[in-house]
C-alpha cells in the first residue's frame, strides 16, 4: 500500500464544490468513484483545500492510499480514463506515507479573471467575471499591494472552522492585464472562506469609483469596525466563475522532482 499525491485540474462549472456532499456532484465524489473502479476501498481521499461551487482548479492537490502494482504514470492514465471530461489528473507520484495535502502546504495561489463589457459574452463569462461600468486599471496595481503582509482579514472572509482565527499572511498579490482581461493573482499561507472573491469585489468597487482605497486600508487595521454590516464596506462577492486554484506549494521533499 502506497500513498499517492495527485495534481488535479477541473472545470468547476458542473460541480457543487470540491468536497463530497450527499446527492450533489462534487470533485471528491467523482474522483473517489474513479478510484473505486481501480480497486480502492478507502473511506475518503485528502484534498489540499475546499473550492466552492463553480470555482475551477488547475493545481488542486489530492492524496490517497492504494494498492497498485504498476507505475504511477499508469495509474494516472487509468484514472483519467475513468474520470469525467471536466476533471483530470495532471500529474501523480508516490508520496511519503504521512503526507497530508492540506496540513503540509506552505502556501496556496489563486487567480481571478475579469473583463469589462456592457453586453454579455456567454463564452468568456464561463471563466471570468463580466463587469460594467469600466474599471480604472491604473488603480488596481496599488490596491493589490495593500494585501501583502500579515493582517486580520476578518472583514474580507469567514473562518474556515468555527472559532478559528482570521489572521493570514499574503506573500504576493498583483494585477496583470492580458488583452481585455484583468487577472488578479494572490498567494498566501492560507485563505479565509471566500476571501479571494471578497478581495476582488472590493478592489473592483474602488476601480469603479464606488469605494475609496482608504476604506480598504482601514478595514485591514480595524476589521471589527469595517464589516459589510456596518456599511463601511459594500456587501458582495465576485462570482465563482472567475476564480481558479492554480498552485499549492510544499517543502521540496513533497514535490515531484
Instruction: Write out the catalytic residue numbers.
Output: 52
Measured in whole angstroms, the distance separating CA 178 from the mean position of its chain's CA atoms is 20
CA atoms of 130 and 53, how far apart (whole Å): 18
Please give the C-alpha separations between residue 160 and each of 149, 168, 189, in angstroms, as whole numbers.
20, 12, 14
The grid coordinates listed for 112 are 481571478
Selection from 217, 2, 222, 201 nearest residue 98 by Cα:
2
Q: CA-based angle 103:144:205, to the nearest 5?
A: 110
CA atoms of 161 and 71, how far apart (whole Å): 38
Amino acid at each position: 500500500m502506497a500513498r499517492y499525491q495527485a495534481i488535479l485540474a477541473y472545470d468547476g462549472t458542473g460541480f457543487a464544490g470540491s468536497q463530497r456532499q450527499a446527492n450533489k456532484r462534487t470533485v471528491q465524489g467523482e474522483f473517489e468513484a474513479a478510484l473505486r473502479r481501480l480497486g480502492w476501498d478507502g473511506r475518503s481521499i485528502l484534498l489540499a483545500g475546499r473550492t466552492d461551487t463553480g470555482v475551477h482548479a488547475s493545481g488542486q492537490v489530492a492524496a490517497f492510499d492504494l494498492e497498485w502494482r504498476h507505475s504511477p504514470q499508469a495509474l494516472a492514465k487509468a484514472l483519467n480514463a475513468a474520470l469525467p471530461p471536466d476533471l483530470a489528473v495532471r500529474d501523480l507520484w508516490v508520496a511519503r506515507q504521512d503526507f497530508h495535502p492540506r496540513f503540509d502546504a506552505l502556501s496556496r495561489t489563486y487567480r481571478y479573471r475579469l473583463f469589462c463589457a456592457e453586453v454579455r459574452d456567454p463564452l468568456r463569462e464561463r471563466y471570468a467575471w463580466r463587469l460594467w461600468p469600466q474599471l480604472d486599471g491604473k488603480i488596481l496595481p496599488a490596491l493589490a499591494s495593500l494585501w501583502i503582509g500579515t493582517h486580520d482579514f476578518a472583514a474580507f472572509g469567514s473562518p474556515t472552522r468555527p472559532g478559528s482565527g482570521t489572521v493570514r499572511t499574503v506573500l504576493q498579490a498583483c494585477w496583470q492585464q492580458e488583452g481585455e482581461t484583468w487577472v488578479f493573482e494572490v498567494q498566501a499561507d492560507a485563505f479565509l472562506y471566500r476571501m479571494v472573491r471578497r478581495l476582488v469585489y472590493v478592489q473592483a468597487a474602488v476601480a469603479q469609483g464606488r469605494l475609496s482605497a482608504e476604506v480598504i486600508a482601514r478595514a485591514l487595521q480595524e476589521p471589527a469596525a469595517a464589516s459589510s454590516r456596518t456599511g463601511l464596506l459594500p456587501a458582495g462577492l465576485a462570482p465563482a466563475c472567475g476564480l481558479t486554484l492554480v498552485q499549492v506549494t510544499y517543502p521540496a521533499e513533497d514535490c515531484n522532482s
